Structure 1
Amino acid sequence: MLQNKKQEIEKERIQEFRSQEFRSQSLRFWRIKRMERRRLKKNNQLKPKQISQKKQIKSAEKQRIAAEVRKTKLTQQYMNANKAMIQMKAWKSQQDGLEREIKIQNEKLIVQGGIKSVNLKEMKILEEQAKRLIKTKVDFNQAYDKELKTAYQMNKEPLRRSLKQNLNVQYSKGREGREYQKYDQKK
């Protein structure tokens, strides 16, 4: 128990010491803060010369900012103009490309038209040649038929006679042949 009492007393002394130390530290801290505030207050009280210097600095800063704003606006205008020029150039190049395409297509159509006209001329020539060939064949056939008719007319009578003779010969042979067959059958 005695020891407990001893320990309690020691604890109280330590706490007391700490609280005194804390108080002294906090007092020191507040004193330092107060001194800093006074110094700042004293420094913040500007003299007329310092005020005019600050005004000059502020006006110079405003002028610099205004110049920068003007400069950025000008560069923005240039950039916008440049964008417009780029768009104009792109549009113009696109139009030029379209015109080139149209020219190429027109040239192709002209070439195709030439080829078709050549083909058409060739077809007409071939058609005319075919007509001539057919006409010559028809003329040849008609001439041949005429010659045949005239030859037939000229040879009609002799042909009839020869045909009659041939028929008579065949008939007579046929008769003899039939008679022979009859004779064979009788035997």
Structure 2
Amino acid sequence: MNTRSSWTETLQIGDIVLFEFPFKKGGGKIRTCVVAFIDPRTGEAVLAYGTGSFRPPANPEVAITLDRQLDWKAAGLRKATLFQVDRRVRVSLSDQRFQMRRHRKTPVLGRMPLPAADRLKQAYLALPEVTAEEERGGVHPKAKCMTASKSPRRNKSFLRRRRKPILNPVSLSKHDADAAVGALKTVGT
């Protein structure tokens, strides 16, 4: 029996899979993702981005968290995970970016508990509508503006000292240098 077809035939909304999730500007990173939608007409699945980082999500209304140890272990995860449903990609079930686990020949790690899977369905259906083509390219929403008191500042450039501009060295004769210093003294008085 073909293992690839067996996991694709049993794939469900709420299944946790290993997938090379694309970056906005190209490339990607292997991540745990959750199946948010399966399109039987096209044989495609919509995968939502998963992360172990628990910074306040930009859009908490579409974030599904498995933070109880019982839940994340049952789902085949190594730690608590947050799935941001609005950050997603639509892929064919034969996509080569699915990461097969060596000992099981499947990218499926486990399945979300039923209440979480129900919240996942609702969150996906509540998203603003985009075309299937847009989802195939990957949807990476812009973060909502948050007040400084609610969100840590990601750009720490405000902590860095401003560097003084480097002046081009100029060769001056002793006479020209004395004249320049004298001119500066008279301007300052």
Q: TM-score, normalised by structure 2?
A: 0.17
Q: Which one has a larger percent strand, Structure 1 or Structure 2? A: 2
**Structure having greater relative contact order (Cα 8 Å, sep ≥ 6):** 2
Structure of greater Rg = 1
TM-score by length of 1: 0.17
